[in-house]
Amino acid sequence: MGIGVKIAGVGYYVPEKILDNAYFENIVDTNNDWIMQMTGIQERRMAAPEQATSDLGILASKLAMEDAGISAKDIEYVVHHSVTPDMIFPGTSCLVQHALGIKDAGTLDVQAGCTGLIYALSVGYAYIKAGLYKTILVIAGDCLTRITDYEDRNTCVLFGDGACAFVLTATTEADSFKSFYVDGDGSFAELLSQPCSGSRIPATHEALDKRLQYLKMDGPNTFKLAVTAMTNSANKVLKEANMDSSQIDWLIPHQANMRIMESVAKKLKISEEKVVKTIHKYGNTSATTLGIAFAELVKEGKIKRGDNIVFVSFGAGATWGATLFQY
Ligand code: UT7
């Protein structure tokens, strides 16, 4: 048998500060009923002023390493995903690597919107399968509240902060990952973006006056595309693994909107109790939603070794994808 890849450990971290729906009623023209009915979100978390994305990822990583029973010296490569890195450069993977005391290890930042965890896991997976490394730390972290416009009711109620981490290791046993599918289409780039602070629109006073440093989203069109792309992605990984949806123990969809998750689960014929939902507690934390939901259920003892799980997501880019794995 060739080299297999195993999820040896997982961890997550969400900041302590809670923003409930009442908070938004005081700052924009919205109300609890609209937010609940249209999104399913009750609360979301906000990083403390002194916390940046790497700080959340460091805490999640420590838990994942503890869960895997490994130390910093065992990690050979760090893959970090974020749409809100500490800085545009250097990469957040380097900052996390240094803070955790990991030495002589590769560092790579990937960026694929809310599909980023699936992309990052696929990178770690491929490195191990190719025989290049045996132990890789994969992190997704985001402080979306730092790029949220609290004057825009269309978006400000949706987003929160958090991080998740996975330790992937080589194994001589069967591969945990049964299939990966990632895809993208840049013709949808304007659906969801942070226009300012890159090379196209640098952070000038003029750009900041136009509030271009904040996330912009065409919600309705993102919603429609997300349902179709997530359903197709999940079907592709099921087909690739020669499995049908009845064999799935848990569907973990990107937590962007309760209605999207319900619609995708219905199209896949996956019953309600198998669909993991954390959106009411944490809102949309970008690519981290999948890992936070997974790690939380592992910690609670609900997800068990041997369970078949599908991660499926859609996000800025546009990007979309899925993975099917046996934990
Ligand atoms: O994470 C990456 C992927 N992201 C997603 O998948 C998010 C996808 N999009 C969505 O989740 C939904 O589009 C939203 C929840 C953002 C919005 O729901 P929608 O059904 O698409 O509503 P809409 O944007 O068409 O807005 C309907 C109405 C509008 O009012 P009018 O024009 O009908 O009078 C909005 O102005 O709701 C209004 N509205 C609000 N009302 C109260 C928008 N935001 C709010 C708000 N409170 N916070």
In tens, the pLDDT along 44-84 reads 999 999 999 999 999 999 999 999 999 999 999 999 999 99
Ligand 1, atom 35, lies closest to the CA of 154
pLDDT at 1: 66
Residue identified by tokens 């997974």 is 294
pLDDT band at residue 35 under the 50/70/90 scheme: very high
Ligand 1, atom 11, lies closest to the CA of 257
Instruction: Could you list the beta-strand ranges (E) of the chain.
Output: 4-13, 17-20, 43-46, 77-81, 106-110, 135-143, 161-171, 177-184, 192-193, 216-217, 250-253, 308-315, 319-326
- Kindly compute the dihedral angle of the four CA atoms of residues 327, 68, 283, 38, in this order, to the nearest 10 degrees: 0
pLDDT at 214: 98
Q: What is the pTM of this model?
A: 0.98
Q: Are 127 and 133 in contact (CB under 8 A)?
A: yes
Task: Using alpha carbons, list the distances in angstroms from residue 300 to 20, 127, 276, 287, 293.
Answer: 24, 30, 13, 21, 11
Strand partners, 81: 110, 140
Catalytic sites, residue numbers: 114, 254, 284
pLDDT at 2: 87
Q: Are 322 and 117 in contact (CB under 8 A)?
A: no
List, for residues 272-316, the tens digit of each pLDDT value: 999 999 999 999 999 999 999 999 999 999 999 999 999 999 999
- The 10 Å CB-count burial string (b at 16+, else e) for 266-296 is ebbebeeebbbbbbebbbbbbbbbbbbbbbb
**187 Cα–ligand 1 center, Å:** 22
Percentage, residues of the chain above pLDDT 70 = 100
Ligand 1, atom 10, lies closest to the CA of 219
List, for residues 142-171, the tens digit of each pLDDT value: 999 999 999 999 999 999 999 999 999 999
**38 Cα–ligand 1 center, Å:** 7
How many other C-beta atoms are found inside a 10 Å radius of the C-beta of residue 70?
A: 17
Any idea what the Cα angle at residue 128 is, between residues 244 and 276, rounded to 5°?
40
Pocket of ligand 1 (CB under 6 A): 30, 34-35, 38-39, 114, 153-154, 157, 192, 219-220, 222-223, 226, 256-257, 260, 284, 314-315
Among 83, 118, 150, 154, which residue has the most ligand 1 atoms within 8 Å of its CB, making it the best to mutate? 154
Closest atom, ligand 1, to C-alpha of 153 = 48
- Phi, psi for residue 305 in degrees, rounded to 5: -55, 135
**How far is residue 160 CA from its own chain's centroid?**
12
12 pLDDT above the threshold of 70:
yes
pLDDT band at residue 85 under the 50/70/90 scheme: very high
Ligand 1, atom 17, lies closest to the CA of 219
List, for residues 178-236, the tens digit of each pLDDT value: 999 999 999 999 999 999 999 999 999 999 999 999 999 999 999 999 999 999 999 99
List, for residues 92-125, the tens digit of each pLDDT value: 999 999 999 999 999 999 999 999 999 999 999 9
